[in-house]
């Protein structure tokens, strides 16, 4: 889903004339120009810079002179339908970047190559679970983790200093609440947290040991009414009250970066890229923004976060499985992952590579949280939930005075109905 790319990775107008064609032929030995195997790769808009793409292609083809890589940049808007059509054709690209939670949808059709036998070779034991788990479907690994991005706390360093709050000492949720209360004075908001920021709420549910939905056999059941999920909502309600965020809209309405840019907000929860948007709107805040991971229940463990980002998949109908896998192995391997993380301020695909972004404040804060990354329920049926999103309605109902248990029960029933409507 397009939403898996977090704030700061914008979708632009579709580029006309991009071909979906892979090289013609009938096997991995099929030669392209000059006796080389040509492979077509779809990467998404803003997932790599032009400079990184050029560097990678040059390095890859030097290491694999028998493979000719043709990268085509795709737009997030409408990509689900485009990939579905490509997988159903005989003319698909050889490698596709897809949002991590889209993999189950594409795997369900049988259109993706099963890469389960490659997991050990690719170092799968160290993959971020928020990328690896949604990249699997019915026990098989189809998506190979590419990169991650998740939410952190962006804060005003000057306002924290004025209030006598040391952000480096905020390690638990209760310490976070105490600090935010100090910052929530007069016109100044301790935190701007809209009532429908359901990805942040989900993190609090996961912290408590709950989930949005659980599976029993072939049936899914919404679980917002469990004690764990209700505790997650109760914490969200406490935090949201320490600011003036609207209770009936999300972080995009109005754009929270624009709200913070007005100068009266001490904190927002966003991907680090949101800081750049704040500064673009108010240059006076340059040098006054910092980052820390969303705190957890205890000091020894950061808060759970939704892991956005991408996986790489290989279509079954690709004519060049071996060459495609070689591309995937290189781009998701340690050497290029470190370079990608530095170039794009991403979290690398393995927990063991977090040090690659140690000097980038926003990315390093993301990397800490990424170790506790989660994804939405790994089933094609979750798309039906997000289409109407009863989670948002539930949150608004509670924040405007509704009984949490009653509202959670209604929302859970709506989730159950949506997730099983196609089964």
Query: What pLDDT, on a 0 to 100 scale, did the predictor assign at position 422?
Result: 58
Q: Are 59 and 335 in contact (CB under 8 A)?
A: no
Average pLDDT, the chain: 90
pLDDT of res. 18: 26
> Can you point out the beta strands (E) in 158-304?
213-216, 219-222, 267-270, 289-292
- Whether the per-residue pLDDT at 7 is higher than 80: the answer is no
Q: How confident is the model at residue 421 (pLDDT cuts 50, 70, 90)?
A: confident
Residue 72: predicted pLDDT: 96
pLDDT tens digits, 14-52? 222 222 333 333 344 444 456 789 999 999 988 898 999
pLDDT, one tens digit per residue, over 78-87 is 898 899 999 9
Q: What is the DSSP string of 119-143?
A: TTTTTGGGB-HHHHTTTEETTEE-P
* Contact status, residue 386 vs residue 1, Cβ threshold 8 Å: yes
**Average of pLDDT values for 278-298?**
97
Residue 298 pLDDT class (50, 70, 90 cuts): very high
Give the pLDDT of residue 101. Answer: 86
Q: How far apart are CA 176 and CA 170, in angstroms?
A: 6
Dihedral pair phi/psi, residue 82, rounded to 5°: -65, -40
Token digits for 256?
A: 């929270």
136 - beta bridge partners? 141
Q: What is the pLDDT of residue 334?
A: 98
What is the distance, to the nearest Å, from the Cα of residue 200 to the centroid of all Cα atoms in its chain? 12
What mean pLDDT do residues 199-205 have? 97
| Per-residue confidence (pLDDT) for residue 221, from 0 to 100 | 97
**pLDDT tens digits, one per residue of 204-261:** 999 999 999 999 998 999 999 999 999 999 999 999 999 999 999 999 899 999 999 9
Q: Across the strands, what pairs with 95?
A: 41
Higher pLDDT, 340 or 20: 340
Q: Are 42 and 107 in contact (CB under 8 A)?
A: no
């Amino acid at each position: 889903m397009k939403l898996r790319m977090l704030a700061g990775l914008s979708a632009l107008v579709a580029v006309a004339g991009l071909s979906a064609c892979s090289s013609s032929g009938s096997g991995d030995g099929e030669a392209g120009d000059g006796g080389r195997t040509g492979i077509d790769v779809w990467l998404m808009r803003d997932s790599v810079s032009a400079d990184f793409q050029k560097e990678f292609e040059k390095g890859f083809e030097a290491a694999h002179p028998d493979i000719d890589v043709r990268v085509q940049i795709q737009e997030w808007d409408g990509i689900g339908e485009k990939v579905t059509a490509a997988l159903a054709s005989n003319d698909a690209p050889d490698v596709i970047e897809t949002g991590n939670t889209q993999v189950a949808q594409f795997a369900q059709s049988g259109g993706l190559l099963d890469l389960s036998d490659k997991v050990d070779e690719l170092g799968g034991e160290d993959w971020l679970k928020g990328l690896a788990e949604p990249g699997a479907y019915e026990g098989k690994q189809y998506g190979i983790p590419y990169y991650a991005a998740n939410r952190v706390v962006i804060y005003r360093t000057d306002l924290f200093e004025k209030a006598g709050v040391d952000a480096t000492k905020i390690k638990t949720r209760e310490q976070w609440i105490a600090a935010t209360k100090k910052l929530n004075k007069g016109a100044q908001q301790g935190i701007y947290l809209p009532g429908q920021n359901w990805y942040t709420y989900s993190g609090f549910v996961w912290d408590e040991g709950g989930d949005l939905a659980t599976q029993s056999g072939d049936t899914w059941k919404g679980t917002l009414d469990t004690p764990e999920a209700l505790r997650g909502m109760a914490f969200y309600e406490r935090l949201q009250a320490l600011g003036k965020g609207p209770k009936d809209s999300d972080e995009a309405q109005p754009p929270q970066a624009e709200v913070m840019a007005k100068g009266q907000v001490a904190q927002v929860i966003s991907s680090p890229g949101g800081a750049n948007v704040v500064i673009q709107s108010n240059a006076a805040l340059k040098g006054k923004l910092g980052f820390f991971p969303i705190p957890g229940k205890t000091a020894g463990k950061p808060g759970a976060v939704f892991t956005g980002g991408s996986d790489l998949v290989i279509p079954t109908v690709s004519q060049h499985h071996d060459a495609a896998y070689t591309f995937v192995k290189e781009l998701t391997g340690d050497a290029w992952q470190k370079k990608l993380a530095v170039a794009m301020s991403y979290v690398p695909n393995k927990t063991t590579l977090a040090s690659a972004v140690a000097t980038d404040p926003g990315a390093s804060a993301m990397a800490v949280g990424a170790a506790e990354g989660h994804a939405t329920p790994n089933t094609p049926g979750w798309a039906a939930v997000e289409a109407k999103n009863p989670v948002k309605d539930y949150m608004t109902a509670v924040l405007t005075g509704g009984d949490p248990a009653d509202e959670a029960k209604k929302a859970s029933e709506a989730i159950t109905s949506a997730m099983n409507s196609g089964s």
